[in-house]
Amino acid sequence: MKVVPVQLGPAMDIPKDMALIVETGCWGCEGGPSGLVRVYTRPDGSVAYDSLLDPAKLGLPMLRYTAPDGSVHEYPPFITGYATTPDASEIVAGLCLSGSCAGEGLSSWSPDSRTVLFRSTDGGVKWTEITRLDVGAGVIGLRRDGEILLVTYDGRESTVFRFFPGLTEVMKPPSTLSWPTEVLANGEIVWRDSNSVPVRSDGSPLVPALAGTDPGSVSQLLFDPVSMHGLATVYSFSPGGPGNYYLVPFDNTGLIGRGTFARAGEDVVWSIDNVWLGLGLTQEGFVLANASVPTPQMASNGQPLVSDFVPVALDLKQGTMRPLRPFPEGTVPRSRNLIAAIQRGPFARVVNTDNTCVNIRAEPLPSAGILDCAAEGVLLTDLGLAKDFAGSTWLHVATPAGAEGWANAQYLER
């Protein structure tokens, strides 16, 4: 294998027809995500930083904590996990309604834990409650048929995986860990064996060539949803020496140095500093990820940060990574900003509805049948066709869920 170091390239703008859905929360600390936001470039060139999932805005009751001194503190329900399709056409999230929901593991389990599940089918703008569970639960993954993989904490010593709806128990393969567990685009569940090597539900290695790696060295897996070729982050270290991260491509037979992600040719792997894989190859040929890059920013205590962990575009053909503006510039809040999904344009944002919605009609006529009603702030896809009728312009658009129809242009920003 040939090892190619990934070089830091110049910062670049988020592509014009791309919106990033990123996870917020503190970086380098314990705790789950605090929310989801959407970042993209508006038609006038300014950057939009839109809150999508905010536990405080879902109409749920506040949680209460009584401190040792007797004072009572309130805080919003916290997110116990979320899952999204790569294009954000469907997002599901779990939030803790009461108790601890084992948010810090089974050691924090409490019998009064209750969880609520929410779903969005418009890119995270509008959320609908789908069920409440009388148990602490976290969202792990989402299948194409809408099934949600949950982990439930039925008792202090009980961690059970279940599919919702139905809450059917999913049996783990013998001698596998509970974390990390993920659902692939084809619906297959990936577990980790006792050495943290990825395995299938029958216990066989997902990538046979990586089965002999050091315990805990296979960090992340990223798959192309069509070919099921993949990219793995592998950590290698030697006692007393520095550790190194490698990006290792493999094909759908598990042969490394091959497949869709082998952009620099066969038998090439890349060495890289700390990296978190987000999404696979975009139409621009990038892998979207988060990585440590130098920064001139200052910490809240006035000390220089030296480096920051920001969204980047990995070009595996050229062996470069380019930070995505505006994240390295400090013009948006510093946060985890882990890339969870991307929406593709060109966009037509729903506006001027007085916080209601715009009808998506079957034809470019005000009397045509209504297919959907897109809420204020939803990013519709402009399909490039416009028609005039009775003094109004109608645009051919698609909703995040894929419904195609016509919307009055006076309610669209593009």
Q: And the tokens for 400? A: 């995040």
Average confidence (pLDDT) over 145-160? 87
Residue 108 phi/psi, 5° resolution?
-100, 10
Same domain flag for 108 and 211 = yes
Query: What mean pLDDT value characterizes the chain?
Result: 91
Most confident of 60-64, 66-70, 198-202, 381-385: 381-385
Q: What percent of the chain has pLDDT over 90?
A: 68
**pLDDT, tens digit, 9 for 90 and up, residues 305-319:** 656 889 999 999 999
**pLDDT, tens digit, 9 for 90 and up, residues 17-39:** 999 999 999 876 667 899 999 99
Same domain flag for 370 and 334 = no
Same domain flag for 36 and 114 = yes
CB atoms within 10 A of CB 292: 17
Average confidence (pLDDT) over 151-166? 88
CATH code (residue 306): 2.120.10
Q: How many domains does the chain fold into?
A: 2
Same domain flag for 379 and 262 = no
Residue whose entry in the numeric block shows the structure tokens 């299948």 = 143
Residue 304 predicted with pLDDT over 60: no
Between CA 146 and CA 64 the distance in angstroms is 33
Q: Which is higher by pLDDT, 84 or 187?
A: 84
Q: 185-194 burial string, b = 16+ CB within 10 Å, else e?
A: beeebbbbbe
Same domain flag for 358 and 379 = yes
Final residue of a domain: which of 344, 360, 376? 344
How does DSSP assign 238-292, residue by residue?
-TTS--EEEEEEE-TT--BT-STT-TT-TTEEEEESSEEEEEEE-TTSPEEEEEE
Between CA 347 and CA 379 the distance in angstroms is 6
pLDDT band at 170 (very low <50, low <70, confident <90, very high): very high
Q: What is the pLDDT of residue 397?
A: 99
Give the predicted TM-score (pTM) of the model. 0.92
Q: What is the span of the domain harbouring residue 86?
A: 3-344
Please classify residue 157 by burial: count the beta carbons closer than 10 Å to its beta carbon, then call 0-12 exposed, 13-18 middle and 19+ buried.
exposed
Q: 16-31 burial string, b = 16+ CB within 10 Å, else e?
A: ebbbbbbbbeeeeeee
CA pseudo-torsion sign 90, 53, 33, 332: positive
CA pseudo-torsion sign 387, 390, 392, 394: negative
Same domain flag for 125 and 179 = yes
Classify residue 368 as left (phi > 0), alpha (psi -120 to 50) or beta. beta
Between CA 138 and CA 282 the distance in angstroms is 29
Final residue of a domain: which of 344, 372, 387? 344
Residue closest to 403 by CA, chosen among 377, 380, 375, 369: 380
Same domain flag for 60 and 126 = yes
Final residue of a domain: which of 322, 344, 366? 344
Helix (H) or strand (E) holding 132: strand 128-133
Same domain flag for 274 and 395 = no
Residue closest to 337 by CA, chosen among 29, 21, 24: 24
Q: Enumerate residues 6+ apart whose C-beta is below 8 A from 178.
A: 151, 159, 172
